[in-house]
Amino acid sequence: MKKLLSVMLVFAIVFASMSVAAEEFNNEEDFSFDAYDSFEVIASEEAVLMEIDVDVKEALEEKLTSAWDSLAAEVQLYPDVKIHRNDIVSYFSTIFFENPQYYYVVRKFSATTNSAGYIGKLYNLVYSVDDMESVNKTREKIDGAVKEILFNISCDMTDFEKVMTVHDYMVNNYIYDISDADQTYLILLDKVGVCAAYAEAFQHVMNVIGIESTIVKSDSMGHMWNMVKIDGRWYHADVTWDDPDQMGRISHQHMFLSQNAIEDLGHYGIDAPYNAISTVYNNAEWHDDMSAMVTAEGVMYRVEGNNLIDETGNTIYEKLDGGDGFWATTQTTGVKDEIFASLCEINGVLYFNTDTGIYSYNPKTRETATVLEEYGIFGLYSDKNMIYYSTYDFEEQAFVKKGELKVCGSFVKESYYEDGKAVVKLYNDNDSPIWAISEGEGYKICKVEAKSVDIIEFENGNSQTIYVWTQGLQPVVEAFMVSE
């Protein structure tokens, strides 16, 4: 009798499982949502709380991104992913926002549901492109643009320093413009866009460097920005509102804020998938800084008021404005707030402007040197091995964008392919060593000593993309190919 009961119990379980698996998803529904539909915030005292199940989100993300990669018109969810019709918009939107590389996905679809409201499959998936060839070409261009940002980041930086470096790069290089400007992460290419584009570009770079982040929106503001996770805590980060669109000037007021703090600065109607309750950085002194914060030799430096200081508050150079609160006082006393001090870094050396010109500071030697003597300089920033800066025309009482200052360099004398190896001959005219790095699996890094000619051989492939980097990971020459 016990055996019979056991057999009957097993049969009942199997039959029940078959009933669930065989359940039909006959109901058909259409889902369409505008650019801002996405999240709901649930109040909590936890540092991090997501309003959707992480395991379900990850399973759905794998299904969706696989479909999006192949421009599939439908994707089967049940039984691998069990998600209710009431939750699909939140899940879909969160995944879409956190993966800007799928910019061509149109946010509407149809779905089959069962009597309990669970999704069987998504179909009628819509895309703004007809094939993946154009998408892949665009992604290659995006990868190149991201590498330009990554050249400013070194592996020994903290997550805080990496995030701030990306923030400062975007503010220095991007322009906010609502007239026919990008609304997606394609701003990485032409560097002109609106808040959604800033947010998507920031999100994409965070994905690349492995820092958890997401996009935040406010319907009532018509605005989008980011949240970023540092040391286990979530913070708001609004790059758009930190961009004054003035060369070399950077605000940090909207970085690493709790939700209460960013609301105090004018954000409202916030929808976000995580809670930002940490107040660690709410009252940080650097919130008032108007210049880039840069890292050299493991130390972060910034301009506070009219002094150049390090992260511990030590003064490196004081009275950048001459000490009287005015700039270029030997010329005029009428330009107090229009000219300002900026800070940048190339190859581990700091560059900053004072009342009388551009100077450098080497953290290793603690030596300061004059780079350029001229009144009215402001707004300098670095890109690769160049310093860009502005000057003030005292006669015309106007800003003048001035040109470029090359502070280090190297060039390719010769490149060829021989005996199964990519060979590069480099001349380095910099005072510091540089590194040539080949792209691809099993990449090789070669050191080129200061002021020398070196022949470098790469063995990992028939065709090589070679980058030449300085110690701080800034390229001193563009990437070039060496082919068989």
CATH number for the domain spanning 258: value is 3.10.620
Pairing of strands 192-193, 175-176: parallel
Q: What are phi and psi of 374, to 5 degrees?
A: -170, 140
* 212 found inside a domain: yes
**Dist CA 279 CA 257 (whole Å):** 7
Q: Are 319 and 398 in a shared domain? A: yes
pLDDT score for 256: 97
Q: The pTM is what? A: 0.75
Query: Which of 340, 255, 259, 330 has the alpha carbon at shortest distance from 44?
Result: 259
Per-residue pLDDT of the chain (484 residues; tens, 9 = 90+): 444 344 333 434 333 433 444 468 889 888 877 644 444 333 333 333 345 688 898 999 999 999 999 999 999 999 999 999 999 988 898 898 889 899 899 988 999 999 999 999 999 999 999 999 999 998 888 888 887 787 788 767 899 999 999 999 999 989 888 776 667 888 888 888 889 889 999 999 998 888 999 999 888 898 999 999 999 999 999 999 999 888 888 999 999 999 999 999 999 998 887 889 999 999 999 998 989 999 988 899 999 988 999 999 999 999 998 888 888 887 777 787 788 999 998 878 899 999 889 999 999 889 999 999 998 899 999 876 688 999 988 888 888 888 888 775 556 667 777 776 777 777 666 666 666 666 654 445 566 666 667 777 766 555 667 666 655 445 555 556 666 6
Torsion (CA) 200, 205, 208, 214 in degrees, nearest 10: -50
Pairing of strands 463-470, 475-483: antiparallel
Q: Are 350 and 467 in a shared domain? A: no
Q: Are 383 and 422 in a shared domain? A: no
427: amino acid identity, one letter: Y
Q: What are phi and psi of 301, to 5 degrees?
A: -120, 155
Q: What are phi and psi of 287, to 5 degrees?
A: -60, -25
Q: Which long-range contacts (CB under 8 A, 24 or more apart) does 389-395 make?
A: 389/247, 389/248, 389/342, 389/353, 389/358, 390/247, 390/248, 392/327, 392/328, 392/335, 392/338, 392/339, 394/328, 394/331, 394/332, 394/335
Contacts of 81 (CB under 8 A, 6+ apart): 56, 59, 60, 63, 119
Q: Are 236 and 311 in a shared domain? A: no
Q: Are 345 and 399 in a shared domain? A: yes
* 112 found inside a domain: yes
**Dist CA 213 CA 231 (whole Å):** 12
Contacts of 411 (CB under 8 A, 6+ apart): 426, 427, 429, 477
Q: Are 143 and 125 in a shared domain? A: no
* 9 found inside a domain: no
Please state whether the peptide bond connecting residue 79 to the residue before it is cis, i.e. omega within 30 degrees of 0: yes
pLDDT score for 481: 63
* 49 found inside a domain: yes
* 31 found inside a domain: yes
Q: Are 278 and 313 in a shared domain? A: no
Q: Nearest-5° angle of CA 411, CA 415, CA 417?
A: 160
pLDDT score for 185: 83
Domain count, the chain: 4
* 16 found inside a domain: no
* 12 found inside a domain: no
Tell me how far CA of residue 475 lies from CA of 104, 149, 219, 471, in angstroms: 31, 11, 41, 9
pLDDT score for 148: 79
Query: Which of 407, 422, 441 is the last residue before a domain boundary?
Result: 407
Structural domain that includes position 445: 410-483
**Dist CA 441 CA 311 (whole Å):** 37
Q: Are 147 and 174 in a shared domain? A: yes
Query: Which of 352, 374, 407 is the last residue before a domain boundary?
Result: 407
